[in-house]
């Protein structure tokens, strides 16, 4: 593939996922430079976005995780500047970033997802935690609606823990998603150009696959191929593509799942700008599918301008 355009690799930013974004972006930038592509790092926390136009960038490869890069706001600006960019468009990015809206959409379409409830900061009653725990009948995952990389998430089993976890999550968002905790295997399916890559199964000795398990711990195990039987592998790919398209996502991304002891799969969330670090899942799946990291980066770059 010959690329003659001037490429801005967008990474860093102001979100809570800045550190992960810096690592993802640097890995992607290095891969482009190794292939002789005119690529440059661009951190919107260090310079105005309008410099993209001033400095003559032809395309933007988005490696910003979280708000300001993965939520549709950057995509909207790039549309106005008429600069092609990678990944999902405005709508797909905004919906994929919002765990609550994603749940509502996939549930409406009859896709499998765990029981959930939404708590709003403006109307939250701390005294309701006991009743909430009773209604779920077991452990609950508490998730800020608009954060990634498991930031602000907690698993709780008592009303007191729930109350604290909700208050902590409110530090990140005005809306908090309470989701039935699923005991079982965690899978993820990467998507590239409308195709599902081989699934990955993750195993961690921690309570759940949290930020430390994803980026810091050496005890996390990854299985790719995942060990799923042929029928389950096919179903994972089918559900991943259905959820991805349901929220209007496109180009490339990742869909996360849990599987309970009965073999039932549950869609957790959609990621439109997944990590691309040394420990990230999309490169692992791509490698199993026969793609090198450099080839994967070129494939992601090729999604620029395909949102319409």
HEC-encoded secondary structure of 120-174:
ECCCCCHHHHHHHHHHHCCCEEEEECCCCCCCCCEEECCHHHHHHHHHHHCCCCC
Average pLDDT over residues 243-248: 97
CATH classification at residue 220: 3.30.470.20
Strands 7-10 and 59-62, by their bridges, are: parallel
Residue 225 lies in a domain: yes
% of the chain exceeding 70 in pLDDT = 92
Catalytic residue flag (residue 256): yes
Please say if the pLDDT value at position 1 is more than 50: no
* CA 286/CA 26 separation, integer angstroms: 19
Catalytic residue flag (residue 199): no
Catalytic residue flag (residue 173): no
Report pLDDT for 145.
Answer: 83
Residue 212 lies in a domain: yes
First vs last Cα of the chain: how many Å apart?
22
CATH classification at residue 54: 3.40.50.20
Catalytic residue flag (residue 215): yes
Instruction: Verify that 82 and 192 share a domain, yes or no.
Output: no
Q: What is the pLDDT of residues 96-140, one digit of tens each?
A: 999 999 999 999 999 999 999 999 999 888 889 999 999 998 899
Instruction: Verify that 172 and 132 share a domain, yes or no.
Output: yes
Instruction: Verify that 252 and 103 share a domain, yes or no.
Output: yes
Instruction: Verify that 171 and 224 share a domain, yes or no.
Output: no
The domain containing residue 171 runs over which residues?
Answer: 116-180
Catalytic residue flag (residue 269): yes
Catalytic residue among 18, 215, 226, 259: 215
Average pLDDT over residues 10-16: 93
Q: What values do phi and psi take at 258, rounded to 5?
A: -120, 150
Residue 308 lies in a domain: no
Residues 6+ apart with CB under 8 A from 167: 126
- pTM (two decimals): 0.88
Instruction: Verify that 104 and 227 share a domain, yes or no.
Output: yes
């Amino acid at each position: 593939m010959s690329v003659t355009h001037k490429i801005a690799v967008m990474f860093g930013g102001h979100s809570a996922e800045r550190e992960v974004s810096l690592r993802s972006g640097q890995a992607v930038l290095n891969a482009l430079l190794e292939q002789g592509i005119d690529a440059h790092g661009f951190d919107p926390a260090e310079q105005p976005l309008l410099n993209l136009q001033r400095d003559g960038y032809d395309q933007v490869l988005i490696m910003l995780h979280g708000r300001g890069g993965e939520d549709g706001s950057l995509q909207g600006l790039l549309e106005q500047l008429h600069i092609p960019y990678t990944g999902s468009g405005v709508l797909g990015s905004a919906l994929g970033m919002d765990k609550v809206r994603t749940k509502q959409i996939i549930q409406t379409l009859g896709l499998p997802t765990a029981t959930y409830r939404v708590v709003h900061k403006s109307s939250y009653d701390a005294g309701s935690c006991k009743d909430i725990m009773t209604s779920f009948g077991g452990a609950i995952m508490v998730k800020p609606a608009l954060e990634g990389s498991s930031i602000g998430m907690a698993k709780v089993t008592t009303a007191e823990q729930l109350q604290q976890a909700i208050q902590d999550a409110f530090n990140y968002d005005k809306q908090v998603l309470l989701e039935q905790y699923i005991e079982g295997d965690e899978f993820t399916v990467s998507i590239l150009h409308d195709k599902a890559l081989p699934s990955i199964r993750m195993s961690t000795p921690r309570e759940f696959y949290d930020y430390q398990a994803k980026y810091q711990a050496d005890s996390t195990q990854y299985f790719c191929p995942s060990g799923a039987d042929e029928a389950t592998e096919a179903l994972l790919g089918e559900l991943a593509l259905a959820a991805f398209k349901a929220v209007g996502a496109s180009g490339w991304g990742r869909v996360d799942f849990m599987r309970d002891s009965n073999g039932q799969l549950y869609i957790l969330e959609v990621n439109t700008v997944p990590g691309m670090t040394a420990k990230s899942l999309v490169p692992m799946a791509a490698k199993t599918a026969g793609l090198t990291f450099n080839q994967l980066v070129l494939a992601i770059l090729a999604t620029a301008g395909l949102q319409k």
